[in-house]
Amino acid sequence: MDKKDLLKYNVFIFDWDGTLNSMRLILKLNEKLKRFIKLFWKKKKENNLLKINLRDSDYMKFIKEQEIKNNLLSYATDLFLIFSKPKLHNDSKQILKILRQKNKKIVLFTNGGSYRIKKEIEYLNMNKYFNLIISARKLKALKPDSVGLKIICKILKIKRSDALLIGDSIDDMISGKNAKIDVCAICDGFDSYKTLEKINPKCLFKSIEEFKKNIE
């Protein structure tokens, strides 16, 4: 994708952890653990599909338990990160400056807890760059759920074709695709280039620095 194509979007929706903010070890461990739980849930579901009805109370209770476990892991991770200092990827702040200069709207859409994200953004002095900050956790609809993206479009009163979602994980990409919003993969966060390439994003960059070169 060349510069002209990338700048056709009026709204840029960024993920936080791993995309603008460097991926810390605790985040990587947390994501891997959550994915293990998802795989376990999927296997358990497949093994039981022929045995129980989808509306069976025990089955629904099992699903609810997995959701609670995922949320508890996220809460625990946020609690740990509150006591550590965030560090931006190189050029992250410069990217936001460039987009603001080009009169683009910038949104932060994250699975992180509101308190932790707000604290990190204030510490990094980045409040002025975002038109809107949405925590999927607060909505109780963690990515890859696309509820948050639909709410963003509604609040900003924009067409989904006007927005581009930029993220570093499969969950980001699925969230965007389900919301019918174009997705841009940045491959120096959680998921690898090969992994993100398989989901066929609108654009694919090895790093946030490479993304910057395409909007300058």
- Each residue of 149-202: pLDDT tens digit? 999 999 999 999 999 999 999 889 999 999 999 999 999 888 889 989 999 999
What pLDDT does residue 30 have?
A: 56
Q: What is the 3-state secondary structure (H, E, C) of the chain?
A: CCHHHHCCCCEEEECCECCCECCCHHHHHHHHHHHHHHHHHHHHHHHHCCCCCCCCHHHHHHHHHHHHHHHHHHHHHHHHHCCCCCCECCCHHHHHHHHHHCCCEEEEEECCCHHHHHHHHHHCCCHHHCCEEEEHHHHCCCCCCCHHHHHHHHHHCCCHHHEEEEECCHHHHHHHHHCCCEEEEECCCCCCHHHHHCCCCCEEECCHHHHHHCCC
φ/ψ region of 112 (left if φ > 0, alpha if ψ in -120 to 50, else beta) reads beta
**Cis before 144? omega within 30:** yes
Mean pLDDT (the chain) is 81
Positions of the chain with pLDDT lower than 50, given as ranges: 40-41, 43, 45-56, 59-60, 62-63, 66
pTM of the predicted model, to two decimals?
0.79
